[in-house]
Amino acid sequence: MKLHQLRYLAAVADNELNITAAARALGTSQPGVSKQLRLLEQELGFDLFDREGRNLTRLTPAGRRVLERARRILDETRNIKRLSEEFRDERRGSLSIATTHTQARYVLPAVIKQFRREYPEVKLHLHQGTSEQIAQLAAEDRVDFAIATGSDEQFPGLVLLPCYRWHRDIIVPAAHPLSRLERPTLKDLSRHPLVTYVFSFTGPSSLAGLFEAAGLPMDVALTARDADVIKTYVRLGLGVGIVACMAMQEGEDQDLVTLDGSHLFPEHVTWIGVRRGRMLRNYMYDFMRLFAPHLTRRIVDQALRAGGGAATAQVFEPVRLPRY
């Protein structure tokens, strides 16, 4: 059994059992992969794949078990590689973060500014996507961590570290009748067309559910994927905007009035998701501290260790989670 045989096995599994595609992804030849898999099957004494003619159709039960172990081995080889980078130069490396628009646009800039001052030699990579895409990227070890909200428990490979709580606010142009209210109610809102996030309509804490539970009608004028678009259309008078409170920052958007929505909308928690069992570079711990000061190295290590064997995403619950 060779490491690269396990690597080939994983690559084939990750490429819909297409050996050619796997070989391309591995940067090697297709016959090589084919042969090494055969050799591995021969050494183990059983088939890893079911075959129809020459094509692979699926993993055998035994193959799934082997793949599971192989992945752990490959994870650890990557961790050793990271160790090597860490001990060579702990101030140099790369940090890949997958995150949502809201984080990337409003929350992360301040953190990243400080991080870059601290670690000028660390190359940063930001990937924007939906919560699901983000968690997926982290679970596949293609980014160092994911920063997102919601979707707990959907990703068994991840350990989720809660960072802060937040809520939605209401935004209107200064001239809008709602701008004069201190504490608008759902009923007030239901009298105006709404402009909000697409994903506010999925899940149990959806806006739709909220209005329905209150027996109120809801008129949605526009759904967008990010707060910038929402703000634009609120300015055009298309309706009342509902955005994450992080999107409204001191000194910006002076033409809009922000009304606190914490009494109307449920709280959300933004977390950092790390693939279970992953080794973190020193600067990654420091990044977490900058993003969420309660995430000390001790706390993070403990959460990562505890998440070692569970079937669902692990959520570490601090004593008191700060509000944004």
Partner DNA sequence: TACAGTTACGGACCGCGTAAGCATA
Partner DNA sequence: TATGCTTACGCGGTCCGTAACTGTA
DSSP state of 323: B
Q: Residue 75 CB, nearest distance to its own copies (Å)? A: 9
Among 3, 35, 91, 110, binds DNA (CB under 7 A): 35
Residue closest to 322 by CA, chosen among 284, 271, 275 = 271
Judged by CB, which is closer to DNA: 19, or 163?
A: 19
For CA atoms 139, 128, 124, 26, the dihedral sign is positive
58 lies in the binding site for its own copies (CB under 8 A): no
Count Cβ atoms below 10 Å from residue 147 Cβ, excluding itself: 28
Residue 262, binding choice from its own copies, DNA, none, Cβ under 5 to 8 Å by partner class: none
**Alpha carbon of residue 55 to chain centroid:** 35
117 lies in the binding site for its own copies (CB under 8 A): no
d(CA 16, CA 280): 30
Q: Are 261 and 170 in contact (CB under 8 A)?
A: yes
56 lies in the binding site for DNA (CB under 7 A): yes
d(CA 271, CA 288): 10
Structural tokens at position 78: 């990557």
19 lies in the binding site for DNA (CB under 7 A): yes
204 lies in the binding site for DNA (CB under 7 A): no
4 lies in the binding site for DNA (CB under 7 A): yes
Judged by CB, which is closer to DNA: 54, or 320?
A: 54
45 lies in the binding site for its own copies (CB under 8 A): yes
Residue 87, binding choice from DNA, its own copies, none, Cβ under 5 to 8 Å by partner class: its own copies
Residue 77, binding choice from DNA, its own copies, none, Cβ under 5 to 8 Å by partner class: its own copies
Number of residues forming the site for DNA (CB under 7 A) = 24
58 lies in the binding site for DNA (CB under 7 A): no
34 lies in the binding site for DNA (CB under 7 A): yes
Q: What one-character-per-residue DSSP string does 250-316 give?
A: TTS-TTEEEE--TTTS--EEEEEEEETT----HHHHHHHHHH-TT--HHHHHHHHHHTTS-SS-EE-
83 lies in the binding site for its own copies (CB under 8 A): yes
Question: Where do contacts with DNA occur on this chain (CB under 7 A)?
Answer: 2, 4, 17-20, 27-32, 34-39, 51-56
